[in-house]
Structure 1
């Protein structure tokens, strides 16, 4: 399973699985004698599944806070959704209907968070999830944004090592729920950095959970965040754990996987298996088709999509695979029947439905109080005005590959790194996944329409990545653009946001790297010379080859500058005022044909 040195990794993993199971009460008795003593009948179970909350405790704003629903007339309707206060109320109401209920999640519950959580290293989100009643979750890639030790602090508690405790006399207690990381090994010990599995007893049913993040996590997290860690294949890891769970008498098995798919419809309530076809593509499909048939359910995340699809397992039997969008806008209600005799989930009984977290749901008072406590601490920073806009500037919610907010951020980064003593940058690139929201003109609170606060800017760029300026050959610049559509990005293109002066044409009728029209890439109207050297700036994640942009790694003479967020703040200070707000750019630097 794990290759050379792999034997040690496999033994360590399975040994830790065995140890984990022993601490959970040991194996159930197996064999024909045990079979004769098993009770007959069934138990109705309910799982309430979340994913990709990303610390969105307050109601997410703008397009990030909407879900699409197919209405009774067959037309799409946009519904405002989300907010941890509403989510808590709905989950509690669901659990009140069925005491045999667990709340589970598939990673990225923290990381890339808005200011209310991100300012305090996501302690508010962990505390909120404790109150919400989360039982178990897998890790996701964003759980590694601040590295292994910080993730372990989220699990076990303790004050921040540099900033200390945020409330005098009060120590952060960590998560009451369990983080699972079956396929994340410490390079030194060969052991998973957190528990690989969890067994829950719900209504007399023993259910085993295997938690994993995507194997490609190192490609989408800064090198520092995954330093000293190895990420293993999802299918091989889960399939190696299944026999151990079964040896210990666990037949009901659920995989919590932070990897996902892309549905054919953006409406959460579409029929994924309509007409006998699978309306889902992406990495999770092949993973699901190869996971051990003993696994009864796969709860996923990462792509921020909503789906509930039956995908055949290796034995050809349908198996439910779910995902519940993102930002706490919905959860998946999964109903299952547990057979007491076989100790297994009745696969044909599994039904899943994505449910919107509606904002007309009453707020849970204890969550309201928790938010108020953290909002009071954040207010001096959060409410500071940093600039003005004349209209919505769309980023995450834009409908075009090049986004107005992406242009603003790329221009801000170019301006911050263009001075000779700051790197002399000529071109700036911004990764689209690093743009987490929009900038809304209409005020969400009392700040005033058009005012941009520090909290809003932080929500857009929460990573505080440091800017880097590199010498790149012109050919490498061309390679960067080609890598948007080729290699590991071919199936899910990542269109970089580019600074002013850089232009090119993309031909949609072509495939892969050929989409970039030869000779169209120009800087200030002059074609890029493959043999010339250009000063190029990007955040440290992208400059390190993140998101599969390996051409950045050929850069030389690296100069580290200020943070990406500081660049955006400085840009607003220089280019906006109450009387002359910043207008949305035209987003016309990339020409699309075909």
Structure 2
């Protein structure tokens, strides 16, 4: 009979216990998929250009379903806001058919989103539209720093706890607090927006003490690079990731800039930050693998990547399910509203008076009866062709759901406003060979965010006055206003009625505050008229009434000296658009 040495046997078990815990450790794999800044791109079709489109939630859904099958539904699907604005799909449910279920919530419910977050363009639709969308969603929509003015508590859920494979996951949602800089108060009346870092400090402590989650995710509708907007700090996502310990992942958006990297926080821990940019071209894909030993978490691995969905096969089930909604939107945008006698393009708007921008100037002046109008190109490279004009063209003519304001400004404030606008737009030329436009030294793409040093939607020109822009001068000495458009004198001390959009009128771009020197809290008192519908609606109605429009440049302003600026404009035009001006 074989003798068993019990001491050796116990020793062997002790070695196994101490050195081979993996024999009984359990690993759980969870995948987080994130969309951000979808901007109404639910279908693989651009309803503005009326052609096929690479970005869409129909492609996202194909990828999501593949991952759900591969991982036995250990997948968490998140959206980071700005989903209610951009394409006519969202606009139709927001403002045209307000009785049927909102297409955005219907799509998100069909895709089985787990969590949503609020973006600034979602707030821009107004509390009624935003509230309707949130109520119809079968999942929580977060907003820890969206505060109720009366109760001073979060208007929406600050965070949500979800479970996957026995793993406890906490998700904290926030928005950039700079909403009051961009949007009229009537759109967010009764609310205010707290600082992101302060809010995160508060809620992370609560979450850690009361929930003790295995994983903490931040989902923030704010960009990576912080910028001060009046009293508000915009784009504070990186600051939160670095300065508020506890997050495993910070998913962010708003700035439309792809990102996927790891950073260290002040506690020395690694945090994955990820941003899939806009229009559902890319998807954020985060894998978290957790190892447990007898219910104790002993290891956590976090990896992320951006998935290019532009060639992903469209979900046939998705398209079949939303076939009726797709056709309804297609019929809506295909309705004729008028006729243009010539083709107009925003390309011309960067180099002088243009038919595209001056059409909006004329319509703003006609609608508001103001003395002067301010307008910037809202789309980098938009064109409306000669001939029949359709509802779809109106989303090219005017990209956002801004209201129309009339504000009282002095002649000096008008000049100073334009000085700042052109200083961000125009390079100070030292010789005839210099660039006319103020461009980035390293240009990585072909849109306004990668070409221009500043955002082109802040390149306001004026109508109603005759002026020159001297490109050899710096801010303060560039603008030379000669007269009003009718030839009467322009007076720096006189008060004028100025038509402009609500984004600008609320301080967006800081042309009124930093440029004209008007305190932000004084802007509201300067507003003497505001429309109750978005500017695109009034532009559409005006074109319908007039029937045939003959867009032409007003030629009320120009760059000087022309012997420098005209050749420079031709060079820069070719640089930007690859064609001759």
Length-normalised TM-score, structure 1: 0.69
Distance 1:450 1:370, change over 3 A: farther
Q: 1:194 and 2:142 equivalent?
A: no
Match of 1:568 among 536, 539, 542: 539
SS in 1 for 2:187: coil
Superposed CA offset, 1:409-430 (max 9, x none): 64234323435xx544343223
Distance 1:240 1:89, change over 3 A: same
Deviation at 1:197, TM superposition (A): 0.5
Deviation at 1:531, TM superposition (A): 1.6
Q: Which residue of 1 aligns with 2:382?
A: 438
Q: Would the aligned equivalents of 1:45 and 1:335 in 2 still touch at CA under 8 Å?
A: yes
**Cα-Cα RMSD:** 4.3
Match of 1:285 among 233, 238, 244: 238
SS in 1 for 2:108: helix
Q: Would the aligned equivalents of 2:422 and 2:460 in 1 still touch at CA under 8 Å?
A: no
Match of 1:255 among 208, 212, 218: 218
Q: Would the aligned equivalents of 2:48 and 2:396 in 1 still touch at CA under 8 Å?
A: no
Match of 2:204 among 224, 242, 264: 242
Deviation at 1:121, TM superposition (A): 1.5
SS in 1 for 2:29: strand
CA distance in 1, matches of 2:263, 2:559: 38
Match of 2:183 among 221, 231, 243: 221
Q: Would the aligned equivalents of 2:248 and 2:272 in 1 still touch at CA under 8 Å?
A: yes
Q: Which residue of 2 aligns with 1:134?
A: 113
Q: Which residue of 2 aligns with 1:97?
A: 70
1:139-158 aligned at under 5 Å gives the runs 139-156=118-135
Deviation at 1:89, TM superposition (A): 1.2
Deviation at 1:124, TM superposition (A): 0.7
Deviation at 1:179, TM superposition (A): 0.4
Q: Which residue of 1 aligns with 2:7?
A: none
Q: 1:498 and 2:461 equivalent?
A: yes
SS in 2 for 1:340: strand
Q: Would the aligned equivalents of 1:409 and 1:568 in 2 still touch at CA under 8 Å?
A: no
Name stretches of at least 5 consecutive residues in structure 2 with no aligned partner: 1-20, 96-101, 227-233, 425-452, 573-581
Distance 1:531 1:586, change over 3 A: closer
Q: Which residue of 1 aligns with 2:80?
A: 106
Q: 1:307 and 2:270 equivalent?
A: no
Highest Rg: 1 or 2? Answer: 2
Distance 1:86 1:581, change over 3 A: farther
Distance 1:560 1:63, change over 3 A: closer
Distance 1:460 1:417, change over 3 A: closer
Q: Would the aligned equivalents of 2:419 and 2:478 in 1 still touch at CA under 8 Å?
A: no
Q: Would the aligned equivalents of 2:415 and 2:479 in 1 still touch at CA under 8 Å?
A: no
Deviation at 1:61, TM superposition (A): 4.1
Q: 1:49 and 2:34 equivalent?
A: yes
Q: Would the aligned equivalents of 1:206 and 1:250 in 2 still touch at CA under 8 Å?
A: yes
Name stretches of at least 5 consecutive residues in structure 1 with no aligned partner: 1-35, 67-78, 157-173, 264-280, 442-448
CA distance in 2, matches of 1:370, 1:585: 48
Superposed CA offset, 1:351-377 (max 9, x none): 222112224x33223321344212444
Q: Which residue of 1 aligns with 2:323?
A: 372
Q: Which residue of 1 aligns with 2:405?
A: 468
**Equivalent pairs, count:** 485
1:346-495 aligned at under 5 Å gives the runs 349-359=301-311, 361-378=312-329, 381-387=332-338, 402=350, 410-418=357-365, 423-430=368-375, 435=379, 438-439=382-383, 451-458=388-395, 461=398, 464-481=401-418, 484=421, 495=458
Length-normalised TM-score, structure 2: 0.71
Q: Which residue of 2 aligns with 1:534?
A: 496
Distance 1:326 1:252, change over 3 A: same
SS in 2 for 1:314: coil
Moved more, 92-101 or 542-551: 542-551
Q: Would the aligned equivalents of 2:340 and 2:550 in 1 still touch at CA under 8 Å?
A: yes
Deviation at 1:485, TM superposition (A): 8.9
CA distance in 1, matches of 2:296, 2:411: 62
Higher RCO (CA < 8 A, seq sep 6+): 1
Query: More helix by proportion, 1 or 2?
Result: 2
Q: Which residue of 2 aligns with 1:124?
A: 103
CA distance in 1, matches of 2:128, 2:117: 17
Deviation at 1:521, TM superposition (A): 5.3
Distance 1:472 1:109, change over 3 A: same
CA distance in 2, matches of 1:430, 1:457: 16
Superposed CA offset, 1:499-540 (max 9, x none): 4556554869x9xxx645444456669996432333310123
CA distance in 1, matches of 2:368, 2:130: 34
CA distance in 1, matches of 2:288, 2:116: 19
Distance 1:40 1:104, change over 3 A: same
